[in-house]
Amino acid sequence: MINILLLDRDGVINIDKSYLSNPNDLEFVPGAVEGLQRFRDSGYRFFIFTNQSGIGHEIFTRDDFDRCMTRLFNMLDKEGIKIESYRVCPHHREQGCDCRKPKTGMWESLCEEYSDLDPEKCIMIGDKDADIIFGKNIGCSTARIISEVYPMEEKGDYTVKDLNELADILLK
């Protein structure tokens, strides 16, 4: 039974503003808060996995990213939503790291800290092909948030407009 959401950040929780570096620019994706609250009320756990190539390209700093995450966590906390942990890949594609989605380094790192994680109890939710491939690579279910920005070549097990619609499906 699925009871853990693995969430991409930009385009799933907050509106993807391309290289988000100012915490004041954070806005929730419509339906994200409502969906997360419904999953929370059903006992789900939440983890974030995010590629942030803007750090590797020196468009913004790790401190900028950390300030955005702090604000995001504060905004979610006001809505009664707690993210247990997160992982970030600060590299760009050409840096050849093991942590950039769809590679599984961020998952492996999280599993070192949370030994109770089981991919069969997880669903990876993202708006890009890399998110869906990442979920498949770790062996979990996947849900694709429809994006007007990113083409959909890789289909998820579920395709939805937002987290609230995914809650409609999974919490039946």
Percent of the chain scored above 90 by pLDDT? 91
- Whether residue 128 is predicted with pLDDT greater than 90 in this model: the reply is yes
- List CB contacts of 70: < 8 A, sequence separation 6 or more: 23
Whether the pLDDT of residue 83 is over 90: the answer is: yes
163-172: pLDDT as tens digits: 999 999 999 8
Domain ranges of the chain: 4-170
* Average pLDDT of every residue of the chain: 96
- 4-170: in CATH 1.10.645.10: no
What's the CA gap between 70 and 107, in Å, rounded?
Answer: 21
- Strand 45-51 with 122-126, pairing: unpaired
Q: What is the pLDDT of residue 93?
A: 87
In this predicted structure, the answer to whether residue 151 has a pLDDT above a threshold of 90 is: no
Residues annotated as catalytic (active site), given as ranges: 8, 10
